[in-house]
Every structure is written in C-alpha cells, then in structure tokens.
Amino acid sequence: MRPVEDFSNGLFRENPTFRLILGMCPALAVTTAAINGLGMGLATTFVLVCSNTIISLLRKVIPEDIRIPAYIVVISSFVTVVQLVMQGFTPELYGVLGIFVPLIVVNCIILARAEAFAGKYDVVRSAADGLGMGLGFTWALTLLGAAREVIGTGSLSNAYQMFGLPQFSLKIIYGSYDPALITILAPGAFIMLGLMIGLMNLLTKHH
Amino acid sequence: MREVMKLGLALLAICAVAGLALGLTYNITLPRIKAQEEAARQRLYRDLLPGADVFKEVTIGSHKYQTGWQHGQRIGVIFTVTGKGYGGDIVIIVGMDPAGRVTGVSILSQSETPGLGSKAAQPPFLRQYAGKSTEELKLRIDGGKIDAVTAATITSRAVTSGVKSAVDQYLHDSEGLK
C-alpha cells in the first residue's frame, strides 16, 4: 500500500510545518486566526496535489538540467489559474482566501515536494504525497491559528461565524479572561510555533 | 552549444504551453470577474445608501461622488476618504443623505492590529455612525457621540475623523447646489 504510506507521511512523520520546518512564511504570517490557517492550508493542498500530479506526469519529458525553472513555471501557472477561477466563480471564497492565494507560489513546500518526490515517482504516489503534505500543512496551520486566536483574543469568533456555530468564548466559560494579545502579534507567532514544535518533539520522542 | 539550444527550446515549449493555458483561463474568467466586482460594488453601495436603486457618478464642487437615486429622486451620496490609522492608511467609504447625515460606513482596506484596531472595521463599531451629523462625529472622550473600540483609540479616532471629513467635504462641496 505504497500510496497510503506516502499519504500519511506528510500528516505526521514528515509534517511540513512541525517536522520539515518548511513554508514558515505563511505559517507565521497568516495564522492570526484559525479560519485563516484552514483557508491557507486548503488552498495550498489544492495547488500541491495539482502540481505534484502534473510534474510527475512530465518527469520524463522535463530535462534534468532545467527542472527547477520548469517546476516553477508549472507551479506559478497553477496558482494563477486557481486565483482567476476562484475570483470569477466563487467570489465569497475568494474574499476569504484572496490575499493568501498568490502567496502559495513562494511556499517552498510545493517546490520541495516537486523536487524530492514528484520528479521521481509515479502519478498516484505523487498525488498521494501532495495530498498528505497539504493536509499535514493544513492541520498544523489550523492548530497554530486556533491556539493564537484563543489565547490572544479569548474566542474563535471568525471560525464559529463561518460555520454557523454558537459563540465560543473563554469569557463565558471562566467568567473573565484577559487576552494575552502578544500571541496574535508577530513575535507571538514565533513563540507559539516554537512551543508547538517542542510539544510535537515531546510527543513523538519514543517512536 | 547544441545542448544549450536543446534546453532553451525545452523551456520555451514549457513556458509557451503555460502561457497559452494562462491566456485562455484569463479570457474565460475575465467577464465573470468583472461582473462579480461590479456586483460587489453595487451591493456595497446599496448597504451604504439603503433604498437607492440607481447609482451615478457626479462631480459636486471639485470632487467626484457616487450619487444614489430612488424613483428619479437623489437620496444621497457616497464618498471615499483615506484616514491615517495606527498601522497605515485606512480607506473609508461613507454614505450620506443630501443633508449630510451619515447613512452607512464601510472600510475598504486597513492594516490595523488584528483583534484590536481591526475591530473598528467591523459592523458593531461602524453601525454607530448611522444617523449622526457632523457635530456628533467625534469620539465620546473628545465630546462626540461615538464609542471608541477598547484599546484602539487611535484607530477609532482615525475612522471617526475620516467619516467627519467626508461629511464636511460634502457639505462644503454642496454649498453651490443650494
């Protein structure tokens, strides 16, 4: 069951954010709220699956010496297509994710997977790898965003609003809560990410 | 030399295919994107000037305004101003009735602190402006009728003075109409 292993690889063992420490720019910049992390993660997952598939299909056609520029052309074309289609056909989704979409081009996870995986293996395994890596990135960013939002604002307002859930707030649960604003500011991104990488190391120590 | 040519041509082929695909996508999506943007703008105008069914750009005094019409009657104007916030420029769009009373305020773009200043760009704060006239458009601590967002006085003040400047600009420009 090779593709299944390739898929689960990105989720935990080689999680892009907590293990490979790749794609730090979006992981730090957009995770001020859980919903932003989720949106960025899903958009990245889509591009990652598409680019891995195309690059795997073309791996025998693209000459070895110019593979990096060729990969970049494929990836950036995909991102632009995704952006145009979203803008034209799903304006609500584009309103939420719009500013993150062009950022996907510079996410090094995508180029790293093209180079390390899709350029070497067949289509099914490459797509599975892309999906696993993408979802690994998604849960990491969502968790980071949720932790920063809950500690920094005392609630998860945006995410709850979007999914139509009743309001979640630490103020309601504990009577009073003074938000530690630093976690949603830039330095807090580094601190929370460091704590989470440490926690992940602690949890996986015995494996 | 032959190797270089071969690589160059291969890259050219890849770029040509990518360019063609992008061009096609662009052409297919362009009319839809334009239509969506126009619809979004119309929705925004309608929120700012409830009741208006047609919008026209009109120059009043020396500035361009969007004017809202209902049954051939001008029921208000929309004006865009830029305020100086805590984290950069805040683009504010203000709807007013012909007498210069605010009908609605919306924020087009801002880069205020998330969770603090950014709250001043959301409806619970912006709703306060509806029905206010120029003398009331000040924060309560400055003697007006607008409650500032907690821990975001600079942003609240920037938005409020932006709205006030839009109203004052319109009152000044519309002098000539009377």
Return the pLDDT at A73: 92
Chain A CA closest to residue B34: A88
A87 Rama sector, left if φ>0, alpha if ψ -120 to 50, beta otherwise: alpha
ipTM: 0.72
User: pTM for this structure?
Assistant: 0.76
Query: Residue A125's CB: how many other CB atoms inside 10 A?
Result: 19
Residues 6+ apart with CB under 8 A from A175: none
Are the C-beta atoms of B79 and B65 separated by less than 8 Å? Answer: yes
| Buried b / exposed e along B28-66 (16+ C-beta atoms within 10 A) | ebeeebeebeeeeeeebbbebbeebeebeeeebeeeebb
Residue-level pLDDT, tens digit, chain A, 207 residues: 688 889 998 898 889 999 889 888 888 888 888 888 888 898 899 999 999 999 999 998 888 889 999 999 999 999 998 889 888 888 877 876 777 788 888 888 999 999 999 999 999 999 999 999 999 999 999 999 999 988 888 888 666 666 666 667 776 667 777 778 888 888 999 999 999 999 988 988 765
Residues of chain A with Cβ-Cβ distance to B116 below 8 Å are 181
Return the pLDDT at B41: 84
Q: Which two tokens stand for residue B32?
A: 């839809």
Any chain B CB within 8 A of the CB of A185?
Answer: yes
Q: In total, how many domains does chain A have?
A: 1
Side-chain-side CA neighbours of A141 within 13 Å: the count stands at 29
Chain A CA closest to residue B39: A91
Residues 6+ apart with CB under 8 A from A6: A117, A121, A125, A128, A129, A132
| Yes or no, beta carbons of B25 and A181 under 8 Å apart | no
Counts for chain B of helices (H) and strands (E), in that order? 3, 5
Query: Residue B88's CB: how many other CB atoms inside 10 A?
Result: 10
DSSP, residue by residue, B96-161: E-TTS-EEEEEEEE--PPTTTGGGGGSHHHHGGGTT--GGG-SBGGGTSSBPPPTT-HHHHHHHHH
Which residues span the domain enclosing A113?
A: 2-204
Confidence of residue B60 (pLDDT cuts 50, 70, 90): confident
| Yes or no, beta carbons of B29 and A85 under 8 Å apart | yes
Are the C-beta atoms of A105 and A76 separated by less than 8 Å? Answer: yes
Query: Residue A145's CB: how many other CB atoms inside 10 A?
Result: 29
Q: Strand, helix or coil at A12?
A: coil
Using a 10 angstrom Cβ sphere, with 0-12 exposed, 13-18 middle and 19 or more buried, the burial of residue A201 is exposed
d(CA A85, nearest CA chain B) in Å: 6
Are the C-beta atoms of A155 and A170 separated by less than 8 Å? Answer: yes
Does pLDDT of B38 surpass 90?
no
